[in-house]
């Protein structure tokens, strides 16, 4: 029987379908991939439930999925870095490689970026998918396909901690204990942070963060940013050297600024409203740097090394597993906010 390519396609808001598409053929510099594991990201759920994220609007049917691992099933012309049968993690963004951003190593800012499951580009929640070979990373035998898929969110943590310059002895505050907060937590700890405290409004998320290595947890019960900052200072013994804001909630961003020591750094990871009221003067007179991040650049090798060496254990984050045929059920589970990370197996049983 010929291979079929079962694929999860978002047609429009609240309209996710499973359909068989033709098996794609790799072009020059590309590889055909037999997909193995694909994680559900909050952005995937947001596209499904809202049909858009900011300026990125689903105007035509789009395949979901961008946290993924696979087995190389066919080589396109000119590919020498991979072989059929190689197990790989897929970095989902392919830049132009020739613009000034790409040339200076900031390819995440490339204006011609083709990123999986970001309109108008298809993702990889399918049986088969084609991707540029130089953005596929070989997995060593001791790294599972599930861990390979988790390198995508982990790379966000690596990039955020790079931007924040988290280093040996740092006191770190992380605002938000969702999956991105957790990958920042484990990355900060792996980089030698002395103390990491994490905040959230949900006690279950905080308890999970504690199990993943947080030195302290703070449940946010008030929008009073200064009051929360006082709690942070009490727990850490001082204000934080670095704060990584992962929720995008305006009160939490204000808390991040008030909780960071003079001369420290706040990194904004979470995306919330376009316009947010902030205590900018407080940050300015205390020389608190406020930095943004956008995805990641040159972080996959580091993320892979962290997992392969055992410095970081992501396995506890994977709480739910579904087959590709049950993708809609998987998305409904994610929509309800159940568990931490949901994985979809794309290989045939």
Model confidence at 83: pLDDT above 70: yes
Domains of the chain with CATH codes: 5-138+314-345 (3.90.180.10), 156-292 (3.40.50.720)
Residues 237, 243, 247: CA angle, nearest 5 degrees: 125
For the segment 254-276, what is each residue's pLDDT rounded down to a tens digit?
999 999 999 999 999 998 999 99
pLDDT, mean of residues 343-349? 88
Cβ–Cβ under 8 Å, residues 254 and 225: yes
Task: Select from 242, 229, 252 the least CA-distant residue to 195.
Answer: 242
Task: Select from 151, 211, 163 the least CA-distant residue to 185.
Answer: 211
Task: Select from 119, 65, 120 the least CA-distant residue to 92.
Answer: 65
Q: If you ran DSSP here, which 8-state letter would residue 118 be given?
A: B
Cβ–Cβ under 8 Å, residues 278 and 266: no
For the segment 292-340, what is each residue's pLDDT rounded down to a tens digit?
999 999 999 999 999 999 999 999 999 999 999 999 999 999 999 999 9
DSSP readout, 168-223?
TT-EEEEE--SHHHHHHHHHHHHTT-SEEEEEES-HHHHHHHHHTT-SEEEE---S
Cβ–Cβ under 8 Å, residues 205 and 178: yes
C-alpha dist (Å) from residue 317 to 22, 92, 192, 301: 33, 20, 21, 20
Model confidence at 232: pLDDT above 70: yes
Q: Is the N-terminal amide bond of 180 cis, ω within 30° of 0?
A: no
Return the pLDDT at 1. Answer: 36
Q: Among positive and negative, which fits the CA dihedral 48, 148, 133, 70? A: negative
pLDDT, mean of residues 217-239? 97
Task: Give the list of residues 6+ apart from residue 320 with CB closer than 8 angstroms, or none.
Answer: 330, 333, 338, 339, 341, 342, 343
């Amino acid at each position: 029987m010929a291979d079929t390519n079962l694929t999860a396609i978002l047609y429009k808001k609240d309209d996710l379908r499973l359909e068989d598409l033709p098996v794609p053929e790799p072009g020059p510099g590309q590889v055909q991939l037999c997909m193995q594991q694909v994680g559900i990201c909050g952005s995937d759920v947001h596209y499904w439930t809202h049909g858009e994220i900011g300026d990125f609007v689903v105007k035509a049917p789009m395949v979901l999925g961008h946290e993924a691992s696979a087995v190389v099933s066919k080589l396109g012309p000119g590919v020498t870095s991979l072989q059929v049968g190689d197990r790989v993690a897929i970095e989902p963004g392919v830049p132009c490689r020739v613009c000034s951003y790409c040339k200076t190593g900031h390819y995440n800012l490339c204006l011609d970026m083709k990123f999986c499951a970001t309109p108008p580009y298809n993702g990889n929640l399918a049986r088969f998918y084609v991707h540029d070979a130089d953005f596929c990373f070989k997995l060593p035998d001791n790294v599972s396909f599930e861990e390979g898929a988790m390198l995508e969110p982990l790379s966000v943590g690596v990039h955020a901690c790079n931007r924040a310059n988290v280093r040996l002895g740092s006191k770190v505050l992380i605002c938000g204990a969702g999956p991105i907060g957790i990958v920042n937590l484990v990355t900060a700890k792996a980089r030698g942070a002395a103390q990491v405290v994490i905040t959230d409004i949900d006690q279950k998320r905080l308890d999970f963060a504690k199990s993943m290595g947080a030195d302290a947890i703070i449940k946010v019960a008030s929008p009073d940013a200064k009051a929360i900052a006082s709690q942070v200072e009490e727990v850490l013994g001082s204000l934080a050297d670095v704060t990584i804001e992962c929720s995008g909630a305006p009160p939490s961003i204000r808390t991040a600024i008030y909780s960071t020591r003079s001369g420290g750094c706040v990194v904004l990871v979470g995306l919330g409203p376009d316009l947010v009221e902030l205590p900018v003067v407080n940050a300015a007179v205390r020389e608190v740097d406020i930095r943004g991040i956008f995805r990641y650049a040159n972080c996959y090798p580091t993320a892979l090394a962290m997992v392969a060496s055992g410095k970081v254990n992501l396995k506890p984050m994977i709480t739910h597993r579904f087959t590709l045929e049950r993708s809609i059920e998987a998305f409904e589970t994610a929509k309800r906010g159940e568990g931490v990370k949901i994985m979809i197996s794309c290989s045939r049983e």
